[in-house]
Amino acid sequence: MPNTTCDLHLHTYYSDGRASPAEVLRHAASIGLKTVAISDHDSLKAMRESINMAAELGLELIPAIELTTRWGLCSSGEFNDDPPLEVDLLGYYVDPGDQEFLSFVQASFNDIRQRVSECCALLTRAGYPITIHDVEAENPRYPGPMRIISTLEHKGYANSWNNAIPLFTAQWPHVRPPKLSIEDAIQAIHTAGGISVLAHPIAIRCNEEWLQAEQLAPLVDAGLDGLEILHPSMDKEARQYFRSLAKQFELVETGGSDDHGWPGGFSRMGSELVTYDMVRAMYQRSKQYNN
């Protein structure tokens, strides 16, 4: 049984998940979830495809997205030679029919495709010939980083998924950073009526250190609305730390399982203790961006 009736971080095959939106929603309903958000990377396609089905299944579906952005966090002060970080920014309650936002999301999708293509060229030079078309053959809907790893495995350059990961991680840092700045992404989410949330903030580090209050402050000034506190990558200590940061800056707290439906089914879905009070606070916060 899941821990909760809410899961606000799920993926489908419109980004790096395995399953269709229908399969994700059916599973969510079957384990007793009531409120879900499909937060695909750089795509709202699952959202648009899911609205009717979610209603039929009695699920509350919160429109969501996870944008791939760059943040110049470590490019100032003592780390000023460091390239921008790649940071995932969640958006909730965005209007999935907003044409301006849809073209913004399409640009973000085009950018990740170009960067994957660049990574393929680097891998080829390193002795692992691979093209963007190979990656698209793995998933034509979203040729993202995860599919580079599965392509490397399926081409026989590694004998398992786990052994293919280092081949990818050796090259990915040499690919240019995303074009989309996190500040612009926050603005675009607001314009589409949504709130912006830093996904799994434990992954954002300068010099191995967790994000500090003084580093977060400029992003709050830029309009950041929340932090994802409940995520499988964050242990108790991390949750406490980021919860205190959220409180300090009056940010909303969100959470979800980040279930990708693989390798072995939806093993994580519903595992994070997301409460309906959290959902309500997110919705309240989003109201200020609706006009």
Judged by CB under 5 A, the stretch of 138-146, 187-195, 201-209, 251-259 that binds Zn ion is 251-259
d(CA 111, CA 115) in angstroms, rounded, equals 6
Size of the site for Zn ion (CB under 5 A): 2
Within 10 angstroms of residue 197's Cβ, the number of other Cβ atoms is 32
Among residues 130 and 227, whose Cβ is nearest to Zn ion?
A: 227
Cβ at position 157, least distance to Zn ion in Å: 26
**Which residues 138-197 are close enough to bind Zn ion by CB under 5 A?**
none
Which single residue is written with the structure tokens 């959470």? Answer: 255
Cβ at position 260, least distance to Zn ion in Å: 8
Beta-bridge mates of residue 71: 85
Among residues 86 and 258, whose Cβ is nearest to Zn ion?
A: 258
Could you tell me if 119 and 148 are in contact, meaning their C-beta atoms sit under 8 angstroms apart? Answer: yes
Single out the residue of 43, 50, 178 nearest to residue 101, CA to CA.
43
Among residues 123 and 269, whose Cβ is nearest to Zn ion?
A: 269
Among residues 40 and 158, whose Cβ is nearest to Zn ion?
A: 40
Cβ at position 12, least distance to Zn ion in Å: 11
Judged by CB under 5 A, the stretch of 48-56, 123-131, 209-217, 252-260 that binds Zn ion is 252-260
| Cβ-proximal residues to 194 (8 Å cutoff; 6+ apart), any chain | 63, 91, 92, 93, 94, 95, 286, 289
Tell whether residue 86 is a contact of Zn ion (CB under 5 A). Answer: no
Which single residue is written with the structure tokens 């519903």? Answer: 270
Cβ at position 174, least distance to Zn ion in Å: 23
Cβ at position 221, least distance to Zn ion in Å: 25
Could you tell me if 130 and 105 are in contact, meaning their C-beta atoms sit under 8 angstroms apart? Answer: no
d(CA 220, CA 41) in angstroms, rounded, equals 22
Among residues 253 and 258, whose Cβ is nearest to Zn ion?
A: 258
d(CA 287, CA 290) in angstroms, rounded, equals 5
Among residues 153 and 258, whose Cβ is nearest to Zn ion?
A: 258
Could you tell me if 144 and 16 are in contact, meaning their C-beta atoms sit under 8 angstroms apart? Answer: yes
Helix axes 99-125, 161-171, angle to 10 degrees: 100
Cβ at position 190, least distance to Zn ion in Å: 21
**Which residues 19-78 are close enough to bind Zn ion by CB under 5 A?**
66
Cβ at position 282, least distance to Zn ion in Å: 17
Single out the residue of 143, 118, 124, 125 nearest to residue 133, CA to CA.
143
Cβ at position 139, least distance to Zn ion in Å: 15
Among residues 86 and 158, whose Cβ is nearest to Zn ion?
A: 86
Beta-bridge mates of residue 91: 65, 196
Among residues 130 and 146, whose Cβ is nearest to Zn ion?
A: 146
Among 111, 183, 228, 258, binds Zn ion (CB under 5 A): 258
CB-closest chain residue to Zn ion: 258
Cis peptide before 145 (omega within 30 of 0): no
Query: How far does Cα 224 stand from its chain's mean position?
Result: 15
Judged by CB under 5 A, the stretch of 127-135, 157-165, 172-180, 253-261 that binds Zn ion is 253-261
Site residues (vs Zn ion, CB under 5 A): 66, 258
